[in-house]
Amino acid sequence: MKKLKVLKLGWEFPPLISGGLAIACYGIAKALAKKTDLTIILPKASQDSILNNANIIGLNNIDVEISKSQQHSQSEVYKKYNAFARTLFAPGMEDVSPYPSEEVKTTEGSTTTSSHFKTTTYSNNFSHTETSSSFYGRFHLDEMYGDDVQQKVVEYAEYVAALAANLEFDVIHVHDWMTMLAGIKVKHQSGKPLVIHAHALCYDRAGPEARGWNYDLEKYGMEMADAIIPVSKYTGSVVERHYGIDPQKIFPVHNGVEPVKTFKEKTSFPEKLVLFLGRITGQKGPEFFLQVASKVIAENDNVRFVMAGSGDKLKRVIESGAYRKVGNKFHFTGFLNREKVNKLLAMADVYCMPSVSEPFGLSAAEAAQFGIPCVISKQSGAAEVLNHALTADFWDVELMAKHINDLLGDKDLRERVIEGTFKDIKTVTWENAVNGIMKAYSYVLGYDVTGGAKHIVADTPKPAKPTVSIKKKSIPLDKIQKDDLKIIEGVGPKIESLLNEGGINTYADLSNAKLSKLKSILENAGSRFKRHNPKTWSAQAELADNGEWAALKKWQDELDGGV
């Protein structure tokens, strides 16, 4: 059988590591390369980014020809795409690294005040320029998550699309929001199915109320994708419920866990040790850990707690610890290097991960390998993998404290948890992960590429829908029956849905709509919409319908609120 050709778009990849994403992408790529014909496009690659059997392309190493003339022919892609490309910097973008490194450099809470609500207009070098011909260049990325990351994400998409035009592949596989725009462009350009691997979402980083560019991009990307591979069922449920994505196309696949070298070290104090390891940010639930610790310390004199890591909540947790009068039993280490982290893992008697939202939670899996019994929150992927770990809802301080006390006091339970989780970990391999990924590929391709492999995670059987998938590919883009009306200056998501309810779904519909009809739609929706003036909407929509983007943009720049 001919090998499946996979085009993988990545952001981080070893040796360029910002956090755990690089490790995860490498693990996936390594195992995937054994089963498929794999090409990986990265913003940056070095000579060390070598993987057997895979073709790794670093955009920093090659000149790519970006032809502007071809872009108008696929202008549909630009409608939504352009909305993202134009609006840079939005709330919820302060901490965008998917698996941020735990090694923050100071013991002090880092300040995350950069670029709140800063709105700038990015003058896209590639699209909407009057002059045609082509551009020949090389992609530069100084910092993986620098201040210009959104601009870089847009640029990356342009370069990847140009490059992919000359590549042959069956499926596009992208990782997280940085690569989603590129994936969407390549999908439209090639007609090949798009698979999005979701390692961490805006929801995890910034909480359920976070909205803005980042969230919108993720939602749009996942809507456009043919399949989503979240790294846990937990994240899958976030994708479904929080982003409103069709559960049929969600295929949770757990990351593999590489075996780590473990050792044991005796603590230099008589008390037992409970460990928290991670960034001290809201997502990781440090305040809950402190509350759990206060409860345990109140009942048990023979225990210490240590919180290793740094983050914006550090100062607050230190003060709370003093307030709760556990300062002599609850310790902070601040920044720790890998060696010190391993030392802590070697010393700890219980590992506690009370994360509020944790897509996977590799550190819990590492702790399990170190033979530490784990108490982890149910809101984590790790809880699905470590079946023998003790779990509780992140807010259930009572239960977490009880688990810790039980593990410290009950030797049999302790042994059972350690042995059980140790076995749990053994099944969590990248090979298994790739089996799950192949299942998602089969779904989007419409034919089985798994080779009969069983996948252990996605236990809810999903009906293969080959017809849908094939049909999808054959639908020309210009026949999509719904346009993004938000491209019209003055129309937001709410008004768009009002228009849709009023039977206006496309630019053509809007350009033909009478002003009186638009006004009555707005008036019927209540007083908050009355003040919107729709008088230019039809004319704007006409330009959009005709693909006259440059003219529309020029006009919109002069408009204020669509008036």
Partner 1 sequence: MKNVCLYFNLHQPNRLKPYTFFEIGTDHFYEDDKMNKDFLDKISADCYLPMNALMMDVIKNLGKEFKFCLSLSGTLIEQMENHRPDVLASFIELSKTGQVEFIGQTFYHSLAYLHSIDEFERQVKKHTEKIKEHFGQTPKVFRNTGMIYCNDLVGRLEEWGFKGVMGEGLGEYLNGRSYNHLYAAPNAKKIKTILKNYKLSADFTHRFMDKSWNEHPLTATKYAKWIAEDAGDCVNIFMPYETFGQHLSAESGAFDFIKHLPYELNKNGVSFMTASDQVEKIGVNGIYDVHLPVSWRDSEKDLSAWSGNNMQQEALQKLYSLEETVINSKDPDLIHVWSKLQTADHFYYLNTKIAEDGANRDYLSPYESPYSGYIYYMNALADLEITCKERM
Q: Could you tell me the smallest distance in angstroms from the CB atom of residue 103 to partner 1?
A: 15
Segment interacting with partner 1 (CB under 8 A) among 175-183, 263-271, 428-436, 441-449: 263-271
Site string for partner 1, 278-317 (x = CB under 8 A): --------------------------x-x-------xx--
Segment 518 to 557, residues that bind partner 1, using CB under 8 A: none
- 62: alpha, beta or left, given left = phi > 0 and alpha = psi -120 to 50? beta
Segment interacting with partner 1 (CB under 8 A) among 51-59, 210-218, 221-229, 319-327: 319-327
Kindly state whether residue 327 participates in binding partner 1, applying the rule CB under 8 A: yes
Kindly state whether residue 461 participates in binding partner 1, applying the rule CB under 8 A: no
Integer Cα distance of 315 and 320 in angstroms: 9
Could you say which of 268, 467, 474, 516 contacts partner 1 (CB under 8 A)? Answer: 268
Kindly state whether residue 319 participates in binding partner 1, applying the rule CB under 8 A: yes
Kindly state whether residue 110 participates in binding partner 1, applying the rule CB under 8 A: no
- The structure tokens listed for 422 are 């140790």
Kindly state whether residue 147 participates in binding partner 1, applying the rule CB under 8 A: no
Q: Could you tell me the smallest distance in angstroms from the CB atom of residue 507 to partner 1?
A: 57
Q: Could you tell me the smallest distance in angstroms from the CB atom of residue 10 to partner 1?
A: 37
Segment interacting with partner 1 (CB under 8 A) among 14-22, 77-85, 322-330, 461-469: 322-330
SS3 359: coil
Complex with partner 1: residue 145 or 332, whichever CB lies closer: 332
Q: Are 538 and 546 in contact (CB under 8 A)?
A: no
Omega into 15 within 30° of 0, i.e. cis? yes
- The structure tokens listed for 383 are 């809880």
Q: Could you tell me the smallest distance in angstroms from the CB atom of residue 278 to partner 1?
A: 16
> In which residue are the tokens 């937990």 written?
234
Could you say which of 323, 419, 480, 494 contacts partner 1 (CB under 8 A)? Answer: 323
Complex with partner 1: residue 234 or 330, whichever CB lies closer: 330
Q: Are 220 and 110 in contact (CB under 8 A)?
A: no
Could you say which of 5, 331, 462, 553 contacts partner 1 (CB under 8 A)? Answer: 331
Q: Could you tell me the smallest distance in angstroms from the CB atom of residue 271 to partner 1?
A: 8
Q: Could you tell me the smallest distance in angstroms from the CB atom of residue 321 to partner 1?
A: 8
Segment 40 to 69, residues that bind partner 1, using CB under 8 A: none
Kindly state whether residue 340 participates in binding partner 1, applying the rule CB under 8 A: yes
Burial 396-419 (b: 16+ CB within 10 A, else e): bbeebbbbbbbbbeeeeebeebbe
Q: Could you tell me the smallest distance in angstroms from the CB atom of residue 366 to partner 1?
A: 19
Amino acid (one-letter) located at 318? I
Site string for partner 1, 211-250 (x = CB under 8 A): ----------------------------------------
Interface size with partner 1, residues (CB under 8 A): 26
Q: Please name every residue paired with 228 in a beta bridge, in sequence order, or none if there are none.
A: 196, 250
Complex with partner 1: residue 322 or 563, whichever CB lies closer: 322
Residue 310 CA: distances (Å) to CA of 102, 103, 115, 128: 7, 7, 21, 44
- E strands along 278-344, which residues? 303-308, 330-334
Could you say which of 76, 94, 103, 108 contacts partner 1 (CB under 8 A)? Answer: 108
Q: Could you tell me the smallest distance in angstroms from the CB atom of residue 367 to partner 1?
A: 17
Q: Which of 66, 125, 187, 73 is nearest to 547 (CA)?
A: 73
Complex with partner 1: residue 138 or 340, whichever CB lies closer: 340
Kindly state whether residue 270 participates in binding partner 1, applying the rule CB under 8 A: yes
Beta pairing class for 5-9 and 64-67: unpaired
Q: Please name every residue paired with 40 in a beta bridge, in sequence order, or none if there are none.
A: 8, 56
Residue 494 CA: distances (Å) to CA of 76, 190, 300, 486, 525: 22, 32, 55, 9, 10
Complex with partner 1: residue 319 or 419, whichever CB lies closer: 319
Residue 192 CA: distances (Å) to CA of 8, 188, 226, 337, 438: 13, 8, 10, 43, 16
Segment interacting with partner 1 (CB under 8 A) among 262-270, 455-463, 478-486, 539-547: 262-270
DSSP state of 193: -
Sheet holding 390-392, edge to edge: 330-334, 303-308, 272-277, 350-353, 374-377, 390-392
Could you say which of 50, 62, 322, 480 contacts partner 1 (CB under 8 A)? Answer: 322
Q: What angle do CA 331, 336, 339 make, to 5 degrees?
A: 115
Kindly state whether residue 14 participates in binding partner 1, applying the rule CB under 8 A: no
- E strands along 328-377, which residues? 330-334, 350-353, 374-377
Q: Could you tell me the smallest distance in angstroms from the CB atom of residue 346 to partner 1?
A: 12
Kindly state whether residue 269 participates in binding partner 1, applying the rule CB under 8 A: yes
- Direct distance between the N- and C-terminal alpha carbons of the chain, in angstroms, rounded to an integer: 60
Complex with partner 1: residue 18 or 267, whichever CB lies closer: 267
Integer Cα distance of 62 and 138 in angstroms: 6
Could you say which of 78, 251, 332, 443 contacts partner 1 (CB under 8 A)? Answer: 332
Q: Could you tell me the smallest distance in angstroms from the CB atom of residue 315 to partner 1?
A: 6
Kindly state whether residue 329 participates in binding partner 1, applying the rule CB under 8 A: yes
Segment interacting with partner 1 (CB under 8 A) among 66-74, 100-108, 217-225, 395-403: 100-108
Integer Cα distance of 434 and 449 in angstroms: 11
Angle between helices 314-323 and 286-299 (to 10 degrees): 20
Kindly state whether residue 328 participates in binding partner 1, applying the rule CB under 8 A: yes
Complex with partner 1: residue 10 or 321, whichever CB lies closer: 321
Contact residues: partner 1, CB under 8 A = 106-108, 267-270, 304, 306, 314-315, 318-319, 321-323, 325, 327-329, 331-334, 340, 343
